[in-house]
C-alpha cells in the first residue's frame, strides 16, 4: 500500500458521484431551463463538501494516538476489545454527513489482522452500534509492541465501508486507509493503560487531533 495519498481536494471515492451530479445538472438545465436545475446544483455542492479530503498536519510523537476520523467524541470507556480479546480503553468518534469522511491511521503500525462483519444500520451515535452495525476492524501493532484496533462502523444512512489496508501492510500515523460514505462512526480500542486526551462532546479532526497517549 502506498505510504502517501495525494490530496486532490475531493476524495477519489467522490469522483463518480460528482461527475454524475454535474452532468445531470447540466442536462436538466439545457433541456428544461437553469431554474429547474437548481436542486441538482445544490446536490452537487453537498457532494463536494461531503467528499472533500484535505491534507492534514500530523502532530505529536510515536506514543500519541491520533483521531482516525473527523467528528465528535461520543464514548470514552473501559471495555473489552472484541477483536483482539483483551481489556481496552475505547474512544468513539461519531461523524455526521457534514464531516470529512476520510479515515486515517491513528498510530504507526503493522496490520496484524482485519475483520469485516455484516450487520444493522442503527444510528451510529448509539453505543450498541459498535457491536450490531456493519463494521470493519483493523488491528495494528505499533513499533513498541502495543495493540490498537480501529473499527469503521456504518451508520443510519451509511451504506458503504471502504478499507484499503490489508494484513501485513505498514501504516504511518495520519495515513489515509479508508472511507465511509454518508454518516458513521469509528471506534478505537487502546491498551488499558492509555490516557485519554479528549472528553465526551469534543470535536476532533482526523490525523490532527490527539485522542490519547500510550504508556
**Residue 67 near residue 207, CB atoms below 8 Å:** yes
Q: Which residue among the candidates 21, 67, 92, 184 is catalytic per the annotation?
A: 184
Please, what is the angle between helix 15-32 and helix 38-50, to 10°? 170
The reply to whether 3 belongs to the active site is no
C-alpha of 89 from chain center = 18
Q: Give the residue among 175, 208, 173, 206 at the shortest CA–CA distance from 94.
A: 206
Strand partners, 52: 10
Q: Give the residue among 100, 214, 71 at the shortest CA–CA distance from 148.
A: 214
Among all residues, which ones are annotated catalytic? 184
Amino acid at each position: 500500500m502506498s505510504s502517501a495519498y495525494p490530496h486532490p481536494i475531493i476524495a477519489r471515492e467522490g469522483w463518480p458521484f460528482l461527475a454524475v451530479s454535474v452532468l445531470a445538472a447540466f442536462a436538466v438545465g439545457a433541456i428544461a431551463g437553469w431554474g429547474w436545475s437548481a436542486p441538482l446544483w445544490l446536490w452537487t455542492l453537498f457532494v463536494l463538501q461531503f467528499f472533500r479530503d484535505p491534507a492534514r498536519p500530523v502532530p505529536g510523537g510515536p506514543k500519541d494516538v491520533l483521531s482516525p476520523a473527523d467528528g465528535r467524541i461520543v464514548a470514552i470507556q473501559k471495555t473489552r476489545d472484541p477483536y483482539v480479546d483483551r481489556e481496552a480503553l475505547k474512544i468513539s468518534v461519531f461523524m455526521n454527513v457534514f464531516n470529512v469522511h476520510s479515515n486515517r491511521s491513528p498510530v504507526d503500525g503493522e496490520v496484524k489482522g482485519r475483520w469485516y462483519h455484516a450487520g444493522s444500520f442503527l444510528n451510529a451515535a448509539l453505543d450498541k452500534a459498535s457491536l450490531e452495525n456493519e463494521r470493519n476492524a483493523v488491528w495494528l501493532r505499533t513499533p513498541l509492541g502495543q495493540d490498537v484496533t480501529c473499527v469503521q462502523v456504518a451508520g443510519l444512512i451509511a451504506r458503504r465501508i471502504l478499507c484499503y489496508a490489508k494484513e501485513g501492510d505498514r501504516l504511518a500515523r495520519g495515513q489515509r486507509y479508508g472511507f465511509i460514505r454518508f454518516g458513521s462512526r469509528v471506534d478505537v480500542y487502546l491498551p488499558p493503560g492509555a490516557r485519554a486526551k479528549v472528553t465526551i462532546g469534543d470535536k476532533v479532526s482526523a490525523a490532527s487531533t490527539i485522542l490519547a497517549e500510550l504508556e
